[in-house]
Structure 1
Amino acid sequence: MTAARSETPSAHGVQGTLDDLGTPLAGVTFVVVDLETTGGSPAESAITEIGAVKVRGGAGLGEFGTLVDPGGAIPPFITALTGITQAMVTAAPRMDSVLPAFLEFARGCVLVAHNAPFDIGFLKAACAAQGYAWPAFPVVDTVDLARRVLTKDEVPNCKLETLARFFGAATRPCHRALADARATVDVLHGLIERLGSFGVTSLEELRGFAKAPTPEQRRKRHLADAVPSAPGVYVFEDAAGEALYIGKSGDLRTRVRGYFTGSETRWRVREMVGLAERVRTIVCATGLEAEVRELRLIAEHKPRYNRRSKFPERVMWLKLTVEPFPRLSIVRECRDDGAAYLGPLSSRRQAEEARSALHEAIPLRQCTQRLTPRLIGEGRARTCALAEIGRCGAPCEGRESSGSYAVHVTSARAVLAGDVRPVVAAARVRIDRLAAEQRYEEAAAQRDRLAAFVRAAARAERLGALAGCPQVVAARPAFDGGWELAVVRYGRLAAAGMIPPGAHPRPYVDALIATAETVFPWSVTTGAPGGAATAGEMECVLRWMDAPGVRPVEVEGTWTYPVHGAERLRAWLDNAYAAREPGEPRAARPLR
């Protein structure tokens, strides 16, 4: 009789299997992919070229490369960047035939891309548009890996061209998909060689390496220990007390702790954490107060690691000047000088397009000289060619009197005050004429010019309506059954508070109003006519008030929009842009 074998594990340990060690990198098949597109957003742009290289164990297994007909126009700046012209993609296959071939080429492999969210985002969007389920490929981003294994002393940045040069890639990146994919292969191999010194030998370790917290992140986890679980603003400060980064959150403790874990992969933020020595927090009553305080603190301290909202003063205004023959001027400051203004405008380009739309409707002079009756009478005024083509009445030559020119000025003031009908009517006539002549690109340019004006005017109306009210008190339902309260004076958030569930609101409203900040209607520092807050702050307040369930408690003043203003046209404008069929050129459907 044989003795039964015991199944009890040995107390001395069990030798692991090969499966426990993960998938060795030498046996992983990678498909390194690169795309060229017509723009930066999958929602508004399309793929023009796909390039992919399949490798395993350092050896090439195959390549996939093709141009793709995007079904629309390729912007000139994209052609200048990539060299891909409209003529090159005219005979190329469409995405409905290219996508299945690529998915078959990459089936069962690990996708690799340089700045993977961009390329994978476009591929996922293409799958959704063509009715394919995304295969959920494992993805490796060479940008993430480079930021973890290379120092600033070795490479100044993690651009593909920089890394290809550093690793001595055989192919130079040139913004063509297959060439860039070949260069990324060499970068991947160089990074994998570097990762060997970190003990990374398997696919699982490779994918987890870029997501793991850095030693600096682990060392500074204690900075989040005293952070409360409440809504508010947090400020990362260095040893000298300088603000490095300012943010907001509905739960400060959870958000700040996230900076010290592997979920935080932004290299700039990881660099900031390495410099931080403390985290200062400001607890706020509501999320709106936290958002507003964040904007104010960023504008005040201008932290080096914040990219947005650092310079709220850098806005543009369209000004109808105060002089004998006024003109439209783009300025950076709005003053209480009796001039008519439109704004704030987010960029100079938007200001120029809005000005061009207004010039299409009203023949104001476009020269920049200061024109006076004396200068005209002495014949010393400079002339331009616009008068010859009927775009200007030529007051500089005395062909248009000050009285006749004043009619145009009155019309322009009415437009800037809220009656946008002349601008819209003139633009639609021109758009329809160009479309009838099949000059669709020019029609689209006119449409975009009108859109810039309408959006700028609508924004000005919304901000002006709020800024003109001495006081607005509003309540918004809270998640716990209570109410969030806000007191807004001349567009500025003067106080914020909470009403507990089941409590009578009046005492809380009265107490908040009594303790609210005193606000004056004009602030030279913010440049907001009739208001004491920046445009960004007022837009935060307006978004909060636009939420479902918000109720006005008290309104002091008149909160209205002009009857013939631009606010009523925003939905019409958005529909005009949304009416394009998928893949249709932006120029093919003018505004009607």
Structure 2
Amino acid sequence: MKHVKAQPDHKMLEWSSKFEALADNAVNSRLRQFYQAGAVSAQASIDSVQLLAMDVETTGLDAQADSVVSIGVMPFTLQRIYCGNSLYWVIKPASELNEKSVTFHHITHAEISDAPTFEQVLTPLLEAMAGKVMVVHYRNIERAFLDQAVRRHLGEGLEFPVIDTMQLEARLHRQKRGWFARLMGRSQPSIRLADSRARLGLPAYHAHHALTDALATAELLQAQVATYYSASTPVGELWN
């Protein structure tokens, strides 16, 4: 039984035309090439598109002041996850590691001493992203930090559509709670990655490793679509 209501057609974001404009306006050749690869139509069914799960670990939560310290990407479709084509980078951050961030992602000063800079991994990252729909759990991290990192190195930002599995969970539970639960002040269930996976019967993974979290996010979207949507759902109803 499907629980999540589709968004009306007029709310669908059509990224294909936006990418054409971004390609025309991009100054840097790498960004221009990324946008020229195009974006899928908002009307395309989710089972027909190439997806790329992504997770970014950072030195903090402020995209303006903090930096990317690792990136993991995992290509997949609704039918299959291509673990053999995954990519993972530890990156020398532009800002200092701090004790709190190290306790989360366990990346130490020794690991970043010989790590590449963000600029050095940008080309293969953009190549991996080109033509695919990004899938993340909490888009405010991945999209904001990548945009800021690209701005620091290239002088212009990076825009791309994302399916946010956290937002899909929030949408589901907001609808399921109903007006009476909201009136009574009942709290919403946790929509963190591990808790969202557990509700759908997915196994627990060690958190805060970029590649593992990318895999966890890919599996979560597959389960969400199978449980709450359908394979024919237009991608425009899911992305931002």
Does TM, normalized by the shorter one, top 0.5? yes
Matching of residue 141 in structure 1 with residue 141 in structure 2: no
Letter paired with 2:97? I
CA shift in 2, pair 1:51/1:132, >3 Å = farther
The answer for the alignment partner of 2:194 in structure 1 is 161
What SS does structure 1 have at the residue aligned with 2:101? helix
1:20 & 1:81 partners in 2: Cα distance? 37
Q: Which has the higher contact order (CA 8 A, sep 6+)?
A: 2
What SS does structure 2 have at the residue aligned with 1:60? coil
CA shift in 2, pair 1:144/1:42, >3 Å = same
CA deviation map 1:250-304 (0-9, x unaligned): xxxxxxxxxxxxxxxxxxxxxxxxxxxxxxxxxxxxxxxxxxxxxxxxxxxxxxx
What SS does structure 2 have at the residue aligned with 1:112? strand
The answer for the alignment partner of 2:210 in structure 1 is 177
Among 123, 126, 133, the alignment partner of 1:110 is: 133
Q: Offset of 1:108 from its aligned partner?
A: 0.9
CA shift in 2, pair 1:145/1:121, >3 Å = same
The answer for the alignment partner of 1:58 in structure 2 is 79
Among 66, 69, 85, the alignment partner of 1:48 is: 69
Among 190, 213, 224, the alignment partner of 1:191 is: 224
Letter paired with 2:47? A
- Alignment check: 8 A CA contact 2:198 2:204 kept: no
Among 38, 41, 61, the alignment partner of 2:59 is: 38
1:40 & 1:162 partners in 2: Cα distance? 21
1:35 & 1:184 partners in 2: Cα distance? 12
More helix by share: 2
Among 92, 101, 117, the alignment partner of 2:124 is: 101
More strand by share: 1
Q: Flag structure 1 segments of 5+ consecutive residues without an equivalent.
A: 1-18, 209-592
1:40 & 1:97 partners in 2: Cα distance? 23
| Ranges of 4+ aligned residues in structure 1 off by more than 4 Å | 132-135
The answer for the alignment partner of 2:46 in structure 1 is 25
Q: Flag structure 2 segments of 5+ consecutive residues without an equivalent.
A: 1-39, 178-185
What SS does structure 1 have at the residue aligned with 2:160? coil
Identity, % of aligned positions: 25
CA shift in 2, pair 1:201/1:20, >3 Å = same
- The normalised TM-score by structure 2 is 0.71
CA shift in 2, pair 1:91/1:20, >3 Å = closer
Matching of residue 79 in structure 1 with residue 93 in structure 2: no
Q: Offset of 1:202 from its aligned partner?
A: 1.5
The answer for the alignment partner of 2:234 in structure 1 is 202
Letter paired with 1:44? A
- The normalised TM-score by structure 1 is 0.30
CA deviation map 1:142-182 (0-9, x unaligned): 111111124469x8210111112222334614111111111
Q: How does 1:441-460 map to 2 (within 5 A)?
A: none
Q: Offset of 1:72 from its aligned partner?
A: 4.1
Among 82, 88, 91, the alignment partner of 1:68 is: 91
1:83 & 1:68 partners in 2: Cα distance? 13
CA deviation map 1:536-555 (0-9, x unaligned): xxxxxxxxxxxxxxxxxxxx
